Amino acid sequence: MKFDKPAGTNPIDRMAVVGRPTPRIDGPLKVSGKAPYAYEQQDVPGKPAYGYILGSAVAKGTISAIDTTRAERAPGVLSVVTHRNAGKLGKGRMNTAHLLAGPKVEHYHQAVAVVVAETFEQARAAASLINVDYARESGAFDLAAARAGAKDATGSDAPTSVGDFAGAFASAGVQLDQTYTTPDQSHAMMEPHATIAAWEGDSLTIWTSNQMINWGVKELAATLQMPPEKVRLISPYIGGGFGGKLFLRTDAVMAALSARAVKRPVKVALQRPLIPNNTTHRPATIQRIRIGCGSDGRITAIGHESWSGDLEGGGPEAATQQTKLLYAGANRMTALRLAVLDLPEGNAMRAPGEAPGLMALEVAMDEMAEKLGMDPVAFRVVNDTQVDPEDPSRPFSQRNLVRCLEEGARRFGWNRRKAPGQGREGRWLVGMGVAAAFRNNINGKSGARVRLDRAGGVTVETDMTDIGTGTYTIIAQTAAEMLGVPLAKVTVKLGDSAFPVSAGSGGQWGANSSTSGVYAACVKLRDMVVGKLGFGPGDAQFEGGQVRVGNRVADIADAAKGGELVAEDTMEYGDLAKTFQQSTFGAHFVEAAVDRYTGETRIRRMLAVCAAGRILNPISARSQVIGAMTMGVGGALMEELAVDKRFGFFVNHDLAGYEVPVHMDIPHQDVVFLDEADDKVSPMKAKGVGELGLCGVGAAVANAVYNATGIRVREYPLTLDKYLDRLGEVA
């Protein structure tokens, strides 16, 4: 099915199941431990051996010698796989560095060897017996130092320019020119990257934890230089990914190589201290923002440049993305500049681009509002645009940013906000901050198969993943709505490359794209049902387990009397995303308190108002947004991979050193969804919320801290050492 014109009325509009607050259908399995995650899969042919990965001790250089003799002789050891015996390996299109080092080492903790043994403990113990000699080379590890040599990014990341930015900025009555920095961040998902691999002849099955089944199949096949048809990838449950599991990682490759070496299944999980340096991370940025305004508060010039680094051949953190679209202004420019660094590989982390981009832009907007003497909400409202500011011929499909801001301000009690440094409660300095949330909507081609059995049961199969987001539930809701059956009649099977290829989970495209694929398959199945029932043409109603055309009524199960009905289809998209700019919007409000003695910041209240099309399930959508808001607090206040610029690695590479918020850091959170349905995006009329919830949170926190203290900090995270000496004397 192709979606190439705005959706008319369709069965989803009934919203008898879709849109209803529905607890996740996989919840009981998860809370009772019956949902097997990758490392726990039991359907493995034979008793698996255990693999343990040894990471490189240097960031850059060459393995000059590697002695595995002692490890191979250690108790229980079955094999040691290194670049010397792994056979020729290719590289996935989406991997910047190789997933097995040797002889070249491209980054710290890059996999150098995997030890396979009968037990995990034996494998781990033997790994320490491997002797590796490195010829260490110097590298570039400091973004600030590499900034001068950075080059303009190309392709879709190339610089943009509209009007005369330089001239308009120079002549603007009120100007802002500030630089902000965001640090490297780690996904820090609960479940580590983990895989069990098993070979049968030349066919490989891996049980893994991956957001994108089809990418994983292709990339693993490319790496192992085998046909993708011979790879089966199964990933039904994922304990968090946040973009860290979008791509093939070394657990899968090492498990496959190990299983081939020892001729039995092998399981490999990345040990926690390996994850920050071995896998991908969100790259640090240096961002310069210039805004010029007239005294009426209208933006006449807006410029955003961002510098980030990556390994040779990698890509930039697209932190200027939202600045192309968020605010009006006739003269504009953006530029992404990429430096080559020898730190571990950078890549997508939840809301790549917008998350760090808005951390800068929305503080700049706060600073500009103050310069103008305008309320920060009013300043944003004045600069709203209903068309793509770079190409005014393109309207937004739906854009309710102003309503988000105004509704949020009303609900949050924004009018009680005081001047910077004026809010005081005992030892606490108290302030409020706001930021706009913005993230583009992306639709992806997505397929599904729907089965109707004799008992009227419906089974949906798609290689779509549930990364903790609630995909199982919204897909079940979609099928139940389309076929008029109760939710309990629907079984959802996900995360298996044997199923039709879906859009996968990433870029907040999963919910809308995958349910649209299920919609397409259900439309096909409805036609089959009506045909089987011999009802002839007419407007069929599917409701209450029955099918009705005119006066004729039958149980839907009757259609499958003669055997199961199976329909498969894929939703594809025309050029509506070109004609209309499709984005999601929101406003974040934060109240923060700063201890005037110690500078500790404690968040007191948070509110997000989101406009993201139809909300398929308010419970799981809310869960996504409050999780994202929590992540935003982490990014604002504590999360930072500390770079050792001499040795070239992230020093705090475990969950003791890389702090993320704990329960005590997160106060009352409110989430409001505007009642929307965007008919330009899909028949579901839904957009994503999983990343929108993060976009802007950091800036709202930073703006609240500024409002509380009167001190502006432009380097994230806002740890107390950055402003303690400006907090004013205490007794």
Partner 1 sequence: MRPFTYEKATSAQDAAAKAAAMPGARFIAGGTNLLDLMKLEIETPSHLIDVNGLGLDRIEEIDGGGLRIGALVRNTDLAADQRVRKDYAVLTRALVAGASGQLRNKATTAGNLLQRTRCPYFYDTNMPCNKRKPGSGCAALGGFSRQLGVIGTSDACIATHPSDMAVAMRVLDASVETIRPDGTTRAIPIAEFHTLPGETPHIETALEKGEMIISVALPRPRGGTHIYRKVRDRASYAFALVSVAAVIQRDGKGAVALGGVAPKPWRVEEAEALLPQGPKAVADRLFAGARPREDNAFKLTLAQRTIASVMAEAKA
Residues interacting with partner 1, by CB under 8 A? 57-58, 75, 121, 124-125, 128, 273, 427, 595, 597-600, 602, 637-638, 642-644, 646-647, 651-654, 656-657, 659-665, 717, 719-721, 724-725, 727, 730-731
Output the smallest distance, CB 61 to partner 1, in A.
Answer: 13
Q: Quick one: which of 529, 515, 613 has its CA closest to 569?
A: 515
* 3-state SS assignment for residue 613: strand
How far is the CA of 339 from the CAs of 156, 160, 283, 326, 358, in angstroms?
17, 19, 11, 26, 21
| Rounded Cα–Cα distance for residues 603 and 401 (Å) | 24
The alpha helices in 210-274, defined as continuous H runs, are 213-224, 250-262
| Rounded Cα–Cα distance for residues 232 and 497 (Å) | 6
- The residue among 14 and 722 lying less far from partner 1, judged by its C-beta, is 722
Show Cβ contacts of residue 384 under 8 Å, excluding neighbours closer than 6 positions: 327, 328, 399, 401, 402
| Rounded Cα–Cα distance for residues 401 and 381 (Å) | 8
Tokens of 627: 């999780």
Which entry of 219, 354, 639, 691 is annotated as an active-site residue?
691
Output the smallest distance, CB 218 to partner 1, in A.
Answer: 34
- The residue among 488 and 651 lying less far from partner 1, judged by its C-beta, is 651
Output the smallest distance, CB 57 to partner 1, in A.
Answer: 4
| Rounded Cα–Cα distance for residues 29 and 730 (Å) | 54
- The residue among 316 and 698 lying less far from partner 1, judged by its C-beta, is 698
- The residue among 31 and 662 lying less far from partner 1, judged by its C-beta, is 662
* 3-state SS assignment for residue 242: coil
Output the smallest distance, CB 126 to partner 1, in A.
Answer: 11
Active site residue 390: no
Q: Quick one: which of 296, 328, 199, 294 has its CA closest to 256?
A: 199
8-state DSSP, 205: E
Output the smallest distance, CB 269 to partner 1, in A.
Answer: 14
How far is the CA of 496 from the CAs of 499, 510, 703, in angstroms?
6, 16, 44
Q: What is the number of alpha carbons within 13 Å of residue 506 lying toward its C-beta?
A: 21
Strand-by-strand arrangement of the 104-105 sheet: 104-105, 61-67, 131-136
Q: What is the number of alpha carbons within 13 Å of residue 669 lying toward its C-beta?
A: 21
Output the smallest distance, CB 657 to partner 1, in A.
Answer: 5
- The residue among 20 and 124 lying less far from partner 1, judged by its C-beta, is 124
| Rounded Cα–Cα distance for residues 286 and 356 (Å) | 10
Output the smallest distance, CB 730 to partner 1, in A.
Answer: 5
How far is the CA of 307 from the CAs of 162, 236, 292, 340, in angstroms?
20, 37, 21, 11
Output the smallest distance, CB 97 to partner 1, in A.
Answer: 18
- The residue among 92 and 717 lying less far from partner 1, judged by its C-beta, is 717
- The residue among 40 and 121 lying less far from partner 1, judged by its C-beta, is 121
Strand-by-strand arrangement of the 428-440 sheet: 424-425, 428-440, 583-595, 601-611, 668-673
- The residue among 81 and 718 lying less far from partner 1, judged by its C-beta, is 718
Give the active site residues: 691
